[in-house]
Amino acid sequence: MHTVQVSKIIQLPADKLWAALADYGGIYKFAPGVKHSEMLNDVVIGPGAQRICEFAAGGSVKEVITRFQEGAFYELDLYDIKAPIKAGSARFAVTPINPNKTKVEVIFNFQPKFGPLGWVMGKMLIEPQFSKGLAGMLKGLEDHVRTGKLVNQDGFLIDAEPMTA
């Protein structure tokens, strides 16, 4: 298994950042690499909630929340993966530092396809790509929560209705 861990200190209250993360089907609003996402069942957030993410670069993945603590973190497993990985999981966590400063962290674990060659590809190509993508997602989260605007596939803000929470 490969692991990519990215965190960011954001000068915003934890509850505002959590509200955006807890809009589970709305990850497309702040994740530049996700061109579309939607819920797959009636569980809005918490264990059993499922979403599909379609990526700007092609491919898609379905995800299901397996562990959840309101206002603090959720963990998810990937399935039906249309990408060069065969298994994966992630943890999204929000930790208040003070009333207007929060640490947001994403830990992503994955197993690449293609055996030993895939392991090398995972180290040399996929880990750096995911690290960059997750950092962009955290910047997008900050920008989206701060402005209420959507983040496009290039990481730029675009006009949209403010998020309701």
pLDDT of residue 161: 53
76, 69, 95, 74: which is closest to 15 by C-alpha?
Answer: 95
Q: CA separation (Å) from 105 to 28, 63, 145, 157? A: 18, 18, 16, 22
pLDDT given at position 155: 80
Name the DSSP class of 28: G
User: Do 34 and 27 form a contact (C-beta atoms < 8 A)?
Assistant: yes
Along the 165 residues of the chain, how does pLDDT read in single tens digits?
A: 999 999 999 999 999 999 999 999 999 999 999 999 999 999 999 999 999 999 988 999 999 999 999 999 999 999 999 988 999 999 999 999 999 999 999 999 999 998 888 888 888 988 999 999 999 999 999 999 999 999 988 888 787 554 444
CA distances in angstroms from 41 to 26, 81, 108, listed in the order given: 14, 18, 23
Output the pLDDT for position 165. Answer: 40
Task: Estimate to the nearest angstrom the gap between the alpha carbon of 55 and the chain centroid.
Answer: 12
And the tokens for 89? 């999981």
- Domains within the chain, CATH numbers bracketed: 2-158 (3.30.530.20)
User: Residue 67's CB: how many other CB atoms inside 10 A?
Assistant: 13
pLDDT at 105: 98
- Tell me, what's the pLDDT at 160? 59
